[in-house]
Structures are given as C-alpha cells and as structure tokens.
Amino acid sequence: MTLLPDPASARAARLACREGAPRPTAGMAPGFTQCNMISLPKDWAWDFLLYAQRNPKPCPVLDVTDPGSHRSALAPDADLRTDIPLYRIWRDGVLAEETPDATAAWAEHPDLVTFLIGCSFTFETPLQQAGIEMRHIAEGCNVPMFLTDRDCRPAGRLHGKMVVSMRPIPAGRVAEAAMISGRTPAVHGAPVHIGAPEALGIADLMRPDFGDPVQIRPGEVPVFWACGVTPQAALMASKPPFAITHAPGYMFITDVPDTHWQV
C-alpha cells in the first residue's frame, strides 16, 4: 500500500461524477473525504449553521461557501453545481426534482450558501483496513439510511428528526468499530446506537428510508451512525422555500484525505 492516496484519483472520481451516469459514490476515490451538501438562500444560512452547531453528530460542518459561490476550499478545482452525481431540488420542503446537473437550479438564487457536511464514508476506510467488511460496498449498493424518532435540537425555523446510516457488524468487532469511528468526531464519530433498532423507531431494517437494504447475517449487530442526510429531514419538516442537496449516497468527493479528520 502507498502511504498517501493519489490526489489524481479524487479529481478523476469527480470528473466521472460530473460526466458519467449517476451512481452512489461509496467506495469511489478511497482515502478521500466525501461530503453531504446542502445549499440554502442566505436568509436561511444562520438558522442552518446554528442547527448544525446544535446537532454536531449528524451535521458536522466541514466547509461553508461565501454566498453565491460554487467553490469550496475542500476541493479548489471542483464545481459544486455539477460535480455531485445526483442532486435534489427542494421547494417548500418537497422534493421537486432529481438532476445530475444543478446549474440551472443554482441560477435561480444568486445568494445560495452551501454547507459541506462530513460523511460516514470517511471512517469506512479505517474500518475496512481493520478487516471489517462494509456490507453495502461488498454488495455494490448504497448504504441503508433510516429516519429515526429522535428529535434534533431545533434552531430558528429549522427542526426535524435525526437520520442514521446502518452497517451490520459481527458482534465481536462492534466495540472496535465504535472505537475506530470514534477517532473521527468531525465526520459523525462513534455510533449513536448499537443494536435495538426498535428503540430508534425503526420498524424494519430491510426497508430503509434512503439507500438500499443490505443483508444482516447471523451473529451480526446493526450499528447506527448519525447521518448527513439529517439536513434533508429538516427540509421536509421545516419547509424552507428553496434548497439544493445531494441525493443520499451520491456525495461530493473532496481532495482532503480521510486521515485529516483523525484525532
């Protein structure tokens, strides 16, 4: 293995996201930080940044753009309007459209402030290096995500429930998975819940609210991490007039190595 991931692989992955058919980014450009995205009109930016500050496990903010900018310090040559494989356009809290190119939507509001939020994919690299299989990567699908019954702490006009991602982990490796992911608190950190899905209000692990179901084998425990799709749950609950987000699992690939976030 090489000691540092090749920056060209992050750029190549972004180019594939920009130009290719939309596909989930799990496993793409391994070793590079992927991000959730939410763009809101400037009038809503304070409420959102405060919402993130009050809910740091689901909403760890890694970068905030200037109003109207589509550039991020996390990947200086990227264009936030085109380099995510699949975008969602939200109007009054309703998902209005999914599109691989958000340029037209971006042009509707000249003052959009964009938030890039850490993604659990960052700790999948050290989990895999520890020999812990990521089932959704093995099955070539999107990670399963669930809307829980846990309220986030509200901020201004924003409120909503927490979304979690789920990975089945062999019972003998769960503690290690908690410790490894706990070393990256800037990207969701340690699990918020281990086992007992019903205590999160999750009725059926085979029917995720976002992403795809994955097999859970005998001897495995469902492990739940706070998820960067939580802002989309806040959109649905709080109904701001306009927003652009990534589609769950279709992330923004940055130039920042995952290891940057380890404490």
Binding of a copy of itself by 45 (CB under 8 A)? yes
Closest distance between a copy of itself and the C-beta of residue 57, in Å?
11
Size of the site for a copy of itself (CB under 8 A): 15
In this chain, which stretch among 19-27, 97-105, 124-132, 180-188 interacts with a copy of itself, using CB under 8 A? Answer: 180-188
178 binds a copy of itself (CB under 8 A): no
Q: Is residue 102 near a copy of itself by the rule CB under 8 A?
A: no
Helix segments in the chain, DSSP class H: 7-19, 45-54, 103-108, 121-129, 135-138, 174-182, 230-238
Choose which of 12, 186, 194, 221 interacts with a copy of itself (CB under 8 A): 186
* Of 126, 182, 197, 257, the one binding a copy of itself by CB under 8 A: 182
Compute φ and ψ for 248, nearest 5 degrees.
-50, 130
C-alpha pair distances (Å), 237 with each of 128, 157, 161, 188, 207? 35, 10, 8, 22, 21
Q: Does 49 bind a copy of itself (CB under 8 A)?
A: yes
- Residue of 181, 57, 46, 206 lying closest to 127 (CA atoms): 181
d(CA 193, CA 56): 16
Strands 87-91 and 94-99: what pairing?
antiparallel
Q: Does 189 bind a copy of itself (CB under 8 A)?
A: yes
Side-chain half-sphere exposure of 169, counting CA atoms within 13 A: 26
Find the shortest distance in angstroms from Cβ 26 to a copy of itself: 24
Q: CB nearer to a copy of itself: give 185 or 213.
A: 185
For binding to a copy of itself (CB under 8 A), which residues are involved?
45-46, 49-50, 53-54, 61, 64, 182-183, 185-186, 189-190, 263
